[in-house]
Amino acid sequence: MNVLSPSLAAQLANFAYKSLEANNTSRKINANPIITSHFAFDPSASTFTGISGTAAEHILDHCTGFGFFGIGNNKGNHKGEVVLTFRGTAGIADTLTDLHCGVTVGPNYKAVHAGFNRTFESIKPQLSKILSKLGSRPVHCVGHSLGGALATLAANWIKSQFKMPVKLYTFGAPRVGCNPFAIQTETNLNGIYRAVHRSDPVPMVPVWPFVHAGSEYRLSTCVSLTGAAHKMAGNAPGYINTASRYPDYKSMERGSLSNLTMTRLKYVNRHHASFNALWADKITSALLTLLRESGKITSILAQGVVACTLTIYDALARSLVEISKMSSKYAEDCKGVLGHILNFVGKSGVTLVDITYSKVKKILYWMLEKLNQLVIAAVKVSPYIGIS
């Protein structure tokens, strides 16, 4: 099973957006030569549909094209292999910026984001029929934005249910699950190629306790956050544009696994923090370090699932207060994380004297809202965010 080149994977991720037009039989849909030199698609027969993550669309059962499956042709490097490519959607803004997001059991029986999984469940029956007919062929799962989240869930499910080799390729994908999900994904799949622009805000959400699976392949290393960095097309910087510069993934800069990096932040150094990708990673890593060492991650997830009126971030705020009371060391670590968040969101004038539930919750929501502003700008520019 050969690895898709970065350029081919990016073209496939962008091609998935044409599935929105596939229901219009009067319009012929063709893949570009980069794709057709490796995979054969019949949009009229190979389109699968799904329902976006918004509550209204699920209530109305509003199905639209969500991607294609293709078969490797005899001329390319992927003869007989299957590719599943998933599109994103502007509706992801509502899912990503939902401060009341929940968790549910994902395809590898670990905790995942409920909104992403709900959309995947609407697609899964079709994928089951497709894969059952194709036999034990290797599968490539590809997607941008929400499509990357769906590709991640699909790759896990395919590996679990069909036991064939599976590789995963994403561009600007959000975090899908919690640490156990990420670890099992890394263990089970035959390769994860998670490409990002460092300045793209979407891979930074949803925030804690959600984490990525696999290390980053950085196509652009600018750390100044901007919504324009999320688009597939164009040159600002544009995932198709940047992916075409690399012959393979080995030539890209690798990001660290922030969910596995031990980080501690001191309150006295809080003014060093600023609103960029570098500090977003450091704060996330420091918070996860604190939650792991205190043993609170499991209880946060349990509260987020069981309590209908308690959001996962409410549970996180309560846990941070409890952690701060466990020892003076933990109190200092909590204060350091919260102090850096205040500077990250531009509230350097706010002094943290004591750690209370109401204060911690407010600080967490300030960070969520700051990132959410960029996410909305990134994915609501156009419903066809993958097409220039």
DSSP per residue, 252-282: SEEPP-GGGS-----GGGGGG--SSHHHHHH
Position 21, amino acid: E
Q: Determine the Cα–Cα distance for residues 157 and 128; give it in Å rounded to an integer.
A: 10
Rg of the chain over CA atoms, in angstroms? 21
Give the global pTM. 0.89
Q: Determine the Cα–Cα distance for residues 141 and 161; give it in Å rounded to an integer.
A: 15
List alpha helices for the chain, DSSP H.
Answer: 6-15, 33-36, 43-46, 55-59, 92-96, 114-134, 146-162, 179-188, 239-243, 277-294, 297-306, 312-324, 328-344, 357-379
What token pair was written down for 286? 């420091």
Instruction: Parse the chain into domains and list their residue ranges.
Output: 6-260, 267-374
Closest by Cα among 217, 157, 168 to 191: 168
Q: Determine the Cα–Cα distance for residues 289 and 330; give it in Å rounded to an integer.
A: 11
Give the residues of the chain that fall short of pLDDT 70: 22-28, 43-44, 53-62, 90-100, 256-260, 301-310, 380-388
Q: Determine the Cα–Cα distance for residues 68 and 84; give it in Å rounded to an integer.
A: 6
Q: Determine the Cα–Cα distance for residues 108 and 188; give it in Å rounded to an integer.
A: 9
Are 220 and 242 contacting, i.e. CB atoms less than 8 angstroms apart?
A: yes
Q: Determine the Cα–Cα distance for residues 118 and 53; give it in Å rounded to an integer.
A: 7
Total residue count of the chain as it appears in this document: 388
Closest by Cα among 4, 156, 143, 170 to 66: 143
Residue 27, pLDDT score: 56
Residue 383, pLDDT score: 45
Q: What is the pLDDT of residues 1-52, one digit of tens each?
A: 999 999 999 999 999 998 887 655 545 678 889 999 999 987 667 888 887 7
Query: Phi/psi at 193 (nearest 5 deg)?
Result: -125, 90
Residue 135, pLDDT score: 82
Are 376 and 93 contacting, i.e. CB atoms less than 8 angstroms apart?
A: yes
Q: What is the pLDDT of residues 159-169, one digit of tens each?
A: 999 989 999 99
Structural fold of domain 6-260:
Rossmann fold (3.40.50)
What token pair was written down for 316? 């996180």
Residue 306, pLDDT score: 43
Residue 28, pLDDT score: 65
